[in-house]
Amino acid sequence: MKNSTESSMQQRAAGILCHISSLPGPEGVGTLGAGAHSFIDQIAACGLSLWQILPLNPPVGGNSPYSSWSAFAANPVFIDLRELVRDDLLLPEEVQHQPRSQPGRVDFAAAWQHKALLLAKAAARLLSDEKEHPLRGSFELFCKSHRDWLDDAALFGAIAERTGTFEWWKWPDELRSRGQGPLKKVRAQLSGALERHQELHKALQFLFDRQWSALRDHAKERGVIIIGDMPLYVSRSCADVWARPDLFDLDGQLRPRRVSGVPPDDFSATGQLWGHPLYNWGACKKEGYAWWIARLRRALELTQVVRLDHFRGLSDYWAVPQGSETAATGKWEPGPGAAFLQSVGEALGRLPFIAEDLGDIDEEVLALRDQFCLPGMAVLQFGFGGGADSIHLPHNHVRNQVVYPGTHDNDTLHGWLHSLDENTRIHVKEYFGASGSSPETARRVLCAALSSVASWAVVPLQDWLGLGSDARLNRPGSVGADNWSWRFDRPKLGPHLCETIRRLLDLYGRRPLL
C-alpha cells in the first residue's frame, strides 16, 4: 500500500520544529490566536513549508505533552483569550491583565491558573440557556461529530475535577468502572453537577477546535504543512484506559499486568522503564482496530502528517512485568505489525505518517516501515562518535526520509557541540573540517541537514536561532522544572535570519515551488 506522505515528499522541503507552547504570547504560553498566525506568516516568508509540533493533548502529572489524560482531547491552555473576546464569549476588560512570565520560560501552572476561570466563563456563556449564543449550533454539531471520544473524555475530565485526581483507580467504586449503571447512580446523587462539568469540558474542546481549525486553514493558505506527533502509548491516568479497559493488558482489578519500556543497551544497563499500560492487541484487532483508527483520524483532522512515536512498538514491543524495579526483566512481544497498518490504510484511505524509527531497531521494524513506504528519521547528532555505517550520517541518508540536526529530546546544536567527548569531537571535526565547538561547525551541521538527499529537513527553532543548552526543550529521563518550558520571546524571526534561511533553502533546493 502506498502512502500520501510519500507523494508529499516528492518535492524537497524544509521546516521548523517548534511547539505551540514555545511561541510568544501575552498569557505566558503560546496560544492559537494572532501570534501563531503571525508565526506561520514568518516561516512561510522565510521559504519554510513544514511546521512540526509536539502532541496537543492535555498533560497529566507534569508538563510533558507525551503523557496525557486523553488520547483524543486537546490542551485548553492553548486557547487564545483574545479570540474569545471576538467571539463575544469574554469581555475586553476581562482579559486586560495578563500574567508576567519569566523570560525564555513557560510557567504552565501560572498560565492555567490565570486562564481557567476565564475559560470557564466563556464556556458558561456558550452553554447558557438564557441567551443562545450564535456559536451554539456549531458547538452541538461538534459534539455530535466527535461523540465517539468526546463524551468519555469530557466525563473523565469532569470526574477528575470533582475528585481532585486523574488516577481513576483511586476513585470511589461507583466511578472507577465505566459501566452505565454505577455512573447513572452517581449522576443522580450529584444532581446534575457532573453533567454541567462534562458540558464545560466539551465546550473547551470545541473552542480549541474552532481556533485550531482557523490556524490550520491559515497554514494551508500559506503553503505550510503542519506535522503532528502521536505517542504510541497512553498514560494509565487516561480517559481511554478508564473507558476502554478491554483494549489494554489489565488484570481483573484493572491493574496493568505488564508495562512499557525498552531493554538495556549501551546507554543504560537497566533499560528504560516507562510504565505505560500495554495494549491488548488481540482485543484491538478483534474490533478491527476501531479505537486506533478513530484516534488516527482525529489526529489527521488536526494536522496533515503525523509522526508515529516509538514506531518500533508496532513491530514488537518490550513488555515489563508490573512491579519490576527496572526494565531489564522485560521481554520482546510481537506487535500488531502489517495487519494494523493495512487496516488503518483501508479505513483512512491513506497513511500520511512518519515512522520514528530511532533507537534499538531491527530488520523487522525496517521491513514494516518499508512495506508501507513510510519515511523514517535521521538525526545528525546520533551519527557521530561511531563508524561510517551509521544511518544518521549524511552520506547514508535516503530520499524517503526526514532529517533533523536534533529533535526535541536532543540538546541544541551549539549545546551538543560544546559537550562532545574527545572521540566524537574528533569525528565531527574530521567530517566537517571545522573545530568541534565553533559557530562555523554548527552552521555546517545545519547545512548538512539541508543538503541531505532526504526529501524533508526539519530544524528545531533553537538551532535556526543558534541558541545554546539553556534553550534545550527536554532532557529524557529527568523531571526537571525546565523540561518542556523553553519559550521564544521574540515577536518575530528577524529579517537577517529570514534572509539567511531563504539563501540556504535556495542553495540546497528546498524552497517550495509556487
Q: Report the catalytic residues.
A: 309, 356, 409
Cα separation, 105 vs 290, whole angstroms: 39
Write the DSSP symbol of residue 33.
S
Cα separation, 68 vs 326, whole angstroms: 23
Whether the CB-CB separation of 222 and 40 falls below 8 Å is answered with: yes
* CA angle, 300 then 301 then 307, to 5°: 25
SS3 labels along 223-288 = CCEEEEEECCCCCCCCHHHHHCHHHECECCCCCECEEEEECCCCCCCCCEEEEEECECHHHHHHCC
481 in helix, strand or coil? coil
Q: Which helix (H) or strand (E) holds 381?
A: none
Cα separation, 226 vs 222, whole angstroms: 11
Angle of helix 34-45 relative to helix 193-221, nearest 10 degrees, comes to 20
Q: Residue 283: count other Cβ atoms within 10 Å of its Cβ.
A: 15
Cα separation, 183 vs 162, whole angstroms: 14
Nearest 5°: phi and psi at 301? Answer: -75, -30
Q: Which three cell numbers stand for residue 334?
A: 510481537
Whether the CB-CB separation of 449 and 459 falls below 8 Å is answered with: yes
Cα separation, 346 vs 58, whole angstroms: 29
Cα separation, 338 vs 135, whole angstroms: 43
Write the DSSP symbol of residue 59.
B
Cα separation, 156 vs 71, whole angstroms: 12
Write the DSSP symbol of residue 75.
-
Closest CA to 204 of 118, 323, 113, 101: 118
